[in-house]
């Protein structure tokens, strides 16, 4: 099958965190399954641009990427229009990554005329909290797509049931299918190798993802403070650190640093910035627990990655990870600092063997239900 993947960002960009990694993994899985994958994107990397990346490039096996030059804003690259429309003529299935993608109306119109199979994956952009930002422009965009009969033309891909409900609330007549993001599942040897240099007694809580206010990282810092200082009976665990890995708006990072200083935690929190490759594996695989306290989350890629590496997880009710408790590999709690602290404390207090068993259950869950090769096949067959 000939697939066109349209996204406003693509590797080697690194700024966009989990969504970027998921899009790349999906394209790679299609390619490995024998599909011909074409990508139309921009040369954006957050506020920066990718150097020497304009034009067609081949990445991986049978993935041909057209990088279009950004001329205004973060993602406005006029060359995407002609590139995407020409590729729509040549491809069987068009997959759009995101919803408020400025060329989407052109693609909807082209797919209507050419009778092409169109899949739209909003990636959480239709959540109530996301729609509240720039609401007038977004409302106008939705009305335009309705006028183009997007509900008749496209199939919507949601990564969780809550996201599917968000889509149906806006497009009540749409065809919506739930297929979660996938995750690469390392082997036991990979896990053991990644943990080989872990220092005995070196425990740390990890946040991994984009630094954005909706992630509520300041609540994680507050919860961490309650864990290390004690907030009930004065119990204090041994040496424990908080690692915050990711990039985002500098003003929000300043807020997080100031929060750490006000709580007298500056010496116990490491702001790691962007990490990838072996550095990311080492930080992720050796964490004692990963915490995601998002106000809302359509998936939460860092949760799947942590579980795949055998790391227990604490996730907030704003994330679609209620199975953590049932699967015995983490905690799903209300996003108050007290509840987060209690959940973190309960996992840190376990013995290494008990945490290891939680990790094994998480790894088994990811291997059974979240492998990219299986999910990529389901995604492209949505009808």
Q: For residue range 130-181, list pLDDT tens digits in order.
A: 898 888 999 999 999 999 999 999 999 999 999 999 999 999 999 999 999 9
- Under the banding of pLDDT at 50, 70 and 90, the label for residue 16 is confident
The domain 188-369: what is its CATH number? 3.40.50.2000
Other beta carbons less than 10 A from residue 73's beta carbon: 9
Give me the residue spans of the domains in the chain: 2-178, 188-369
pLDDT at 105 over 70: yes
Give the CATH number of domain 2-178; options: 3.40.50.1400, 3.40.50.2000, 1.10.1060.10, 3.40.50.300. Answer: 3.40.50.2000
- Beta-carbon contacts of 270 under 8 Å, excluding residues fewer than 6 positions away, are 204, 241, 242, 243, 244
In CATH terms, are 2-178 and 188-369 the same topology?
yes
Cα separation, 265 vs 228, whole angstroms = 9
pLDDT in tens, 306-365: 999 999 999 999 999 999 999 999 999 999 999 999 999 999 999 989 999 999 999 999
- Under the banding of pLDDT at 50, 70 and 90, the label for residue 199 is low
Cα separation, 305 vs 290, whole angstroms = 10
- Beta-carbon contacts of 254 under 8 Å, excluding residues fewer than 6 positions away, are none
**pTM of full prediction above 0.85:** yes
pLDDT in tens, 222-276: 999 999 987 444 444 458 999 999 998 899 999 999 999 999 998 999 999 999 8
Mean of the pLDDT values across residues 73-96?
Answer: 96
pLDDT in tens, 109-133: 999 999 999 999 999 999 988 898 8
What crossing angle do the helices spanning 250-262 and 217-229 adopt, rounded to 10°? 20
């Amino acid at each position: 099958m000939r697939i066109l993947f349209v996204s406003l960002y693509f590797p080697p960009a690194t700024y966009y965190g989990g969504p970027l990694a998921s899009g790349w993994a999906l394209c790679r899985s299609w390619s490995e399954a024998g599909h011909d994958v074409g990508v139309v994107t921009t040369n954006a990397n957050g506020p920066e641009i990718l150097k020497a990346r304009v034009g067609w490039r081949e990445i991986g096996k049978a993935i041909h990427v057209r990088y279009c030059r950004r001329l205004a804003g973060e993602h406005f690259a006029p060359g995407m229009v002609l590139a995407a429309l020409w590729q729509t003529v040549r491809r069987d299935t068009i997959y759009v990554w995101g919803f408020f993608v400025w060329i989407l109306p052109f693609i909807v119109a082209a797919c209507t005329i050419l009778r092409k199979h169109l899949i739209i994956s909003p990636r959480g952009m239709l959540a109530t909290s996301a729609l509240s930002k720039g609401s007038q422009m977004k409302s106008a965009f939705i009305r335009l797509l309705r006028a183009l009969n997007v509900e008749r033309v496209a199939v919507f891909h949601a990564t969780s049931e809550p996201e599917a409900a968000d889509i149906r609330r806006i497009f009540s007549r749409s065809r919506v299918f739930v297929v979660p993001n996938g995750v690469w599942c390392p082997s036991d040897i990979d896990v053991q190798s990644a943990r080989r240099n872990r220092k005995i007694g070196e425990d740390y809580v990890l946040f991994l993802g984009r630094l954005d206010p909706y992630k509520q990282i300041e609540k994680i810092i507050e919860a961490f403070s309650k864990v290390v200082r004690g907030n009930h009976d004065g119990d204090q665990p041994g040496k424990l650190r908080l690692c915050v890995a990711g990039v985002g708006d500098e003003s929000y990072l300043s807020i997080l640093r100031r929060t750490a200083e006000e709580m007298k935690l500056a010496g116990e929190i490491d702001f790691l910035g962007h990490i990838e490759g072996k550095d990311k594996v080492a930080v992720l695989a050796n964490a004692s627990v990963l915490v995601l306290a998002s106000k809302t989350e359509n998936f939460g890629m860092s949760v799947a990655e942590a579980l795949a590496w055998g790391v227990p997880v604490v996730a907030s009710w704003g994330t679609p990870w209620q199975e953590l408790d049932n699967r015995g590999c983490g905690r799903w709690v209300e996003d108050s600092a007290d509840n987060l602290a209690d959940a973190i404390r309960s996992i840190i207090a376990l013995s290494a063997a008990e945490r290891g068993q939680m990790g094994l259950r998480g790894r088994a869950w990811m291997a059974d239900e979240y492998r990219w090769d299986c999910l990529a096949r389901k995604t492209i067959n949505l009808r």
